[in-house]
Amino acid sequence: MALSKFLQPCFPSYDLKRLDVIENKKLIITQILNFGTEKDLEWLSKNYSKADLKQVISKPDKGVWLKNVLLYWQKIFNLKILKKLEKDKIHKKKEGYL
């Protein structure tokens, strides 16, 4: 399913006809949360579940999120993202290395 034309400002370098709501779910959610208007966010909530949004926010791709926007959505959804170094420390601690 192609995206609505009103979403184009969220995807300045993409051809909306080539994006699919299922195949490109992560990209679509990320771009709309980064750049979307209230109308765009309403569209997002009608097309994706809260679980879908949380999944994308909790595993952000490096270099595609605006830092302040990602922090905002993490607060809204009460998500804490561990940095790789913190994950490694926790993993090593569980294995008894620290």
Residue 83 pLDDT: 61
A 10 A CB-CB count for 15 gives 10
At 85, the pLDDT band (50, 70, 90 cuts) reads: very low
Which has more confidence, 37 or 82?
Answer: 37
* Per-residue pLDDT, 86: 52
Residue 43 — pLDDT band, cuts 50, 70, 90?
Answer: very high
- Under a CB-based contact definition with an 8 Å cutoff, are residues 34 and 66 in contact? yes
pLDDT at 80: 80
Rounded to the nearest angstrom, the gap between the alpha carbon of residue 68 and the centroid of all alpha carbons in its chain is: 13
pLDDT at 38 over 50: yes
The pTM score is: 0.81
Residue 22 has pLDDT above 50, yes or no: yes
What's residue 81's pLDDT? 72
For the chain, what are the domain ranges?
5-95
